[in-house]
Amino acid sequence: MELFISFIHFVVLGISLAAPVGPINVEMIRRGLSNGFYSSWLVGLGGMSADIVFLLFILFGIAPFLQHPLVQTCMYVIGFGMLVYLGITTLKTSFSNEPIIQDSPNKSTTSYWSGFGIALFNPINFVFWFGIFGSSIQELMGNGWGHALFACASLLLGIFLWNLNVAFTVHFSRNLVNDRLLKVMNGVAGMALIGSSVPLLIKSHLFW
């Protein structure tokens, strides 16, 4: 019974981590409306892959290296550049005369890496993995690797289920959106992505 409660706890925690509207969810919605289910889902899978990288860093004790100020500054600057690039690219599509709604395999292949990059350089992920969840994992590892791995798998399942929910919801809502409305939504998404980049630039302390 205790194991089941622990399973539910970490699944819900994973959903809670993935649910807030941030760069990953914005990109999933944008790509899902433009290119379909797989494009949206691959963004989520890319984000999950970055989460797995963070988990491995914690489990194998590499987290202190990533918490070095110089390393964090580099990652914040890269994340800032990536979000600004995605935001500008998205804004450009909202002013383009070409139709946005299409199924493009080539764009789907870039979705995974977009999701991976956004999640890898997201300061919210840093706070969660190396702060909140990192201490919990270290405590669980005191009871053995099995407990820690079980908690990690349950957490990732929660993230996976949320990403699948977003991808399916966007996919079935796609038929309700025309190209003109999608261009407006793309404009909003582009500004949201650029807005999400500002905290990264501030945290980098690059210019002050």
Cα–Cα distance for residue pair 66/47, rounded to 1 Å: 18
- pTM (two decimals): 0.75
Cα–Cα distance for residue pair 49/62, rounded to 1 Å: 17
pLDDT computed for residue 34 by the predictor: 79
pLDDT computed for residue 112 by the predictor: 93
Helices 2-18 and 145-173 meet at what angle, rounded to 10? 50
More confident residue, 67 or 32: 32
More confident residue, 120 or 22: 120
Instruction: Tell me the pLDDT tens digit for each residue of 16-30.
Output: 878 777 788 888 988
Residue 101 · residue 34 · CB < 8 Å: yes
Mean pLDDT of 84-92: 81
**Total length of the chain:** 208
Domain extents in the chain: 2-204
Q: Which of 16, 75, 26, 68 is nearest to 50 (CA)?
A: 75
